[in-house]
Amino acid sequence: MRAYERLLKYVKIYTTSDEDSNTVPSTARQFDLAKILVEELKFLGVENAEVDDKCYVYAHIPATPGCESKKSIGFIAHMDTAPDFTGENVNPIIEENYNGENVVLGTSGRTIKVSDFPHLAGLKGRTLIHTDGTTLLGADDKSGVAEIMTFVEEILKTDKPHGKICIGFTPDEEIGAGADHFDVAKFGADFAYTVDGGEENAVEYENFNAAGADVEFTGVSIHPGDAKDIMVNAALVAMEFNAMLPPTEVPSKTEGYQGFFHLTDMSGDVASAKLSYIIRDHDKDKFADKKKVMEHACNIINQKYGDGTCKLTIKDQYQNMLEKIEPHMFLIDYAFKALEDAGENPKAVAIRGGTDGARLSFMGLPCPNLGTGGYNFHGPLEHITAEGMDTVVKVLHGLVQRFAK
């Protein structure tokens, strides 16, 4: 079975995580896919596959005779889909021999335009998989799951020597909790790769340093007719705070290694208001400076309107994995060579986000990220090609063979 055929099956399973939930996993529906994967792994011949009570799937393929002393390699993908856009009742559409032109998404009124996404022209002639425009596709990261599962099926049918191979599927990656309960010791790999990136020729080993910031404002509410020199409108103070942040350091005006402040949510009235942000930067010093900018803005508000008007809470989320990957750059060399063997021109891409691999790297499991062949994740314009997924499966084989040598 080709990887894209598995993807078509997996995307039908509703697994969206919930950032407002306090349960583990955040949604019980993620067990639906986890249980299917365990059953499928056992059917393929991986007898020790299991899902634990927190919805983490673990499986191991023993080393072939003579390779028991080789370093073990792991592959990891996540089962949940992003809560940014609905992942329920997904209706994937398959276009064989795609013409490289604009893609009309069913009757939704949405179109993937070549003018917006020039890479589409390079996908001409491939088998393109996209949504009907009413949901996301779920290729992030069910494509990674499908590619790993297809690799497992193929490796168990070959007699090629290999070391121990560890397989892991996680819940709740999309809400930043994918590594929270990952048992590195139980997983058992010396090194691993997450399969959770974009283009199939991309290798990612740098990601944002990340933090979340909540800014709460307390105003003074009084009848507007009696408000002179008394009222402090918390909603207006919140707007004043946001205006003190660099206007060009927002997602819509940054790219590459440029960091940003991203206002994700706002609420409030005269008496109280709240702004929620995420802070991102690849550079550790610039990341620290961004947090200081917010602290300075909060201090100015309190000096102007009185202590307690502004309360800032910053919580670090994850770090740039680069410092943990640099001592093991052979992992990147292996990935580049495996891509070249698969006929690709590999490229290093700095992730403008994070993956399970970033946190796992700081948990003692060096874990760069591989592309999946997908594009435009987290929304209805998401798409992927069957051929790109085939390439990723080849790359996984190439990595295993290099670890076996």
Distance of CA 403 to the CA centre of its chain: 26
Given the residues 147, 173, 174, 204, select the one marked as catalytic: 173
E strands along 300-354, which residues? 310-318, 347-351
User: Mean pLDDT over residues 164-191, rounded?
Assistant: 96
List Cα–Cα distances, 208 to 157, 211, 354, 362, 369, in angstroms.
39, 9, 6, 14, 13
Q: Which among 389, 353, 398, 352 has a CA at the least distance from the CA of 371?
A: 389
pLDDT at 354 over 90: no
Q: Which CATH number fits domain 209-318: 3.30.70.980, 3.40.720.10, 3.30.70.360, 3.30.1490.20?
A: 3.30.70.360
Residue 302, classified by CB atoms within 10 Å of its CB into exposed (0-12), middle (13-18) or buried (19+), is middle
pLDDT at 353 over 90: no
In tens, the pLDDT along 132-161 reads: 999 999 999 999 999 999 999 999 999 899
pLDDT at 89 over 90: yes
Determine whether 183 is an active site residue. Answer: no
Q: At a CB cut-off of 8 Å and minimum separation 6, what does 138 contact?
A: 10, 11, 15, 81, 87, 90, 382
Residue type, 3: A
Residue 243, classified by CB atoms within 10 Å of its CB into exposed (0-12), middle (13-18) or buried (19+), is exposed
pLDDT at position 120 = 97
Q: Which among 159, 103, 141, 166 has a CA at the least distance from the CA of 6?
A: 141
Is the pTM higher than 0.75? yes
Determine whether 326 is an active site residue. Answer: no
pLDDT at position 115 = 97
In tens, the pLDDT along 294-315 reads: 999 999 999 999 999 999 999 9
Q: Which residue has the tokens 């400076």?
A: 289
User: Which residues of the chain does CATH 3.30.70.360 include?
Assistant: 209-318
Q: Are 293 and 249 in contact (CB under 8 A)?
A: no
What's the chain's average pLDDT? 97
Neighbouring-strand partners of residue 311? 216
pLDDT at 334 over 90: yes
Q: Which CATH number fits domain 3-207+320-404: 3.40.50.300, 3.40.50.1000, 3.40.50.920, 3.40.630.10?
A: 3.40.630.10
Distance of CA 76 to the CA centre of its chain: 12
Edge-to-edge strand order for the sheet containing 202-207? 50-51, 57-61, 165-170, 73-78, 191-197, 369-371, 202-207, 347-351
Helix (H, G, I), strand (E, B) or coil at 401: helix
CA distance 31 to 53: 9
Q: At a CB cut-off of 8 Å and minimum separation 6, what does 129 contact?
A: 4, 7, 8, 92, 93, 94, 95, 137, 139, 383, 384, 385, 386
CA distance 220 to 137: 47
User: Which residues of the chain does CATH 3.40.630.10 include?
Assistant: 3-207+320-404
Tokens of 18: 């919930």
Given the residues 80, 200, 356, 382, select the one marked as catalytic: 80
pLDDT at position 355 = 82
Q: Are 381 and 205 in contact (CB under 8 A)?
A: no
Q: Which among 398, 403, 396 has a CA at the least distance from the CA of 75?
A: 396
Residue type, 246: P
In tens, the pLDDT along 22-77 reads: 999 999 999 999 999 999 999 999 999 999 999 999 999 999 999 999 999 999 99
